[in-house]
Amino acid sequence: MKPPPPAAPERPDRSDRPGAESYRTLDRLREAATAGFSTGLSPVALGMALFDWSAHLAAAPGKRLELADKARRDAAGLLAQAAALAADPQAEPMIRPPPQDRRFQSEAWRQPPFSLWAQGFLLTQQWWRDATHGVPGVSPHHENLLSALAQQWLDMVSPANLPFTNPEIIARSIRSGGLNHLAGLRNWAEDMARLAAGKPPVGAERFRVGHEVAATPGTVVFRNHLVELIQYAPATGTVLAEPVLLVPAWIMKYYILDLSPENSLVRHLVRAGHTVFCLSWRNPTAEDRDLTLDDYRSLGVMAAVDAVSAILPGRRIHAAGYCLGGTLLAIAAAAMAGARDDRLASVSLLAAQTDFTEPGDLGLFIDHDQLHVLESLMWQRGYLTAEQMLGAFRFLRSDELIWSRMVRSYLMGERDPMTDMAAWATDSTRMPCRMQGEYLRRFYLENALATDRLTAEGRPVALRNLRAPIFAVGTEDDYVAPWQSVYRLHYLSDAELTFVLAGEGHNTGIIFDPARPGSHYRIASRERDGACLCPEDWARAAAMRQGSWWPAWSDWLAQHSSAGRVAPPAMGAAEAGYPPLEEAPGSYVRQR
């Protein structure tokens, strides 16, 4: 019998070698420097996507012939359109822009030669969409990334962006004698000066925190290193027994939920007879670089639940989370359910994802290479700014969020009116290095929450443990958290679930006061352990209603509350260790 072969020597852990950390530091410094020049995008990721696409396109003669044939047919069609326009300037266009593209909606774009330029641009846009999709063998991630990049280049050279090819700019220049360009130059100089000085955009100063926005009366009743907890003053003689706890996203200031009085979800809930608490996140600094995602759960959501429970002992809590705050609330609620902690009467998730299989447009910029670049950038600074995150969304919606605004401001000489929501969007918070890296890796790359691979206090976080009734909201035009992605919660929990599909986008669909006309929503409920429909079947079956979904939610909260009403509670509870600290909106919201 032959002796067993000798065991292979263990491979040494290279990270333990002397100087290993110095080598890693050198790598991170190089990545951070590169990210500074590439606006946070990874040149390697972009290069890999381009190589993947071009190599497979070169090996696909059928796809190349298809694209050549489409280019030939488009050119012939455009020539035929030019002839038709010569005979009849009102001839029907051969291609129309999609409904969400508002650049060519003006009647002036129906007149030649502008109509011909617009149709040529739309045909080119369509050709590049076909060219970047359907190439055999290309990774779907690379396919989508290349398509987005091609769209950005096309948006840059759109005839709507050029002063001599945009009929609206030409007409304005004729009417004003060219003064629109002078006004545009003045607008540009003012914007550049504000950018250099670190000031918010023009008009944002009119929406002061604690005055025009974040003005609902209340008191800060708890503060730790990460959050302040605001308790709002009652607006009715009696209130529902169970309080509402709001968990906003940590990427922005909390007052997206408490904008101007006519646009405040907090005010709506208070006036409907709810006792409302809301978290206000601290703006982290470089010293907070080691805060973790679980710190945000324990020091944020759980600390707030403990405080509300102490202020209103014996009462269960309606917890509601918006965007990333909803994802964090889902983690906390599932962890509580797994630990048999039944203090939550219900869970409401507003435009919040729990399954990141279809993460939305941000997923284009999250792969292992891109995350390495972001982590290096955060490692150097200790945090990531919200402006860097929002830059990715502006990049993906450049026609709407960049070029169209520049055309109006710098070529038409018009300022977009500043609104409370637009002013709030300029008031961002930072994200600690470790927490943000964990969030992107665990959710976007690993989808850990949906696959039961998260833990809290040593126990698995399983959404299937949720038994409290759930109210979830998605919005039709949401590129941050697509409604089909939000809807996937149906597949992860068997709890009673009411789902709303609201009109508008990620922010405007959630913040829509009932007094404002317009909008609509669909709503349907699934009983506990009930059958689950696919999103398309759900949308066809759900009841369509006009207006804001806020009253439906307020009614749902009342239905899941104790019968009858009680006297409004006192502000805070000094005897329980939660004395009133200062008037709302507190101090954390003012941190820059």
User: Annotated active-site positions, please?
Assistant: 323
Using CA atoms, how far apart are residues 156 and 152, in angstroms rounded to an integer?
Answer: 6
3-state secondary structure 262-321: HHCHHHHHHHCCCCEEEEEECCCCHHHCCCCHHHHHHHHHHHHHHHHHHHCCCCCEEEEE
CA atoms within 13 A on the CB side of 441: 16
Using CA atoms, how far apart are residues 585 and 592, in angstroms rounded to an integer?
Answer: 15
First-to-last CA distance in the chain?
A: 75
| CA dihedral (49, 52, 58, 62) positive or negative | negative
**Rounded (10°) CA dihedral 365, 369, 374, 380:** -170
Residue 119's CB: how many other CB atoms inside 10 A?
Answer: 23
Distances (CA, A) of 466 to 347, 355, 357, 461: 9, 15, 20, 10
Using CA atoms, how far apart are residues 337 and 158, in angstroms rounded to an integer?
Answer: 53
Taking Cα atoms as reference points, which of 410, 445, 480 lies closest to residue 191? 410
Cβ–Cβ under 8 Å, residues 471 and 346: yes
Distances (CA, A) of 361 to 358, 422, 587: 9, 21, 34
Query: Can you name the residues that pair with 6 across neighbouring β-strands?
Result: none
Cβ–Cβ under 8 Å, residues 378 and 433: yes
Cα-based angle 543, 546, 550 (whole degrees, multiple of 5):
90
Using CA atoms, how far apart are residues 272 and 534, in angstroms rounded to an integer?
Answer: 34
Residue whose tokens read 């909201």 = 473
Q: What is the DSSP code (8-state) at residue 366? A: -
Taking every pair of Cα atoms in the chain, the longest distance, rounded to a whole number of angstroms, is 101
Pairing of β 239-240 and β 227-232: unpaired
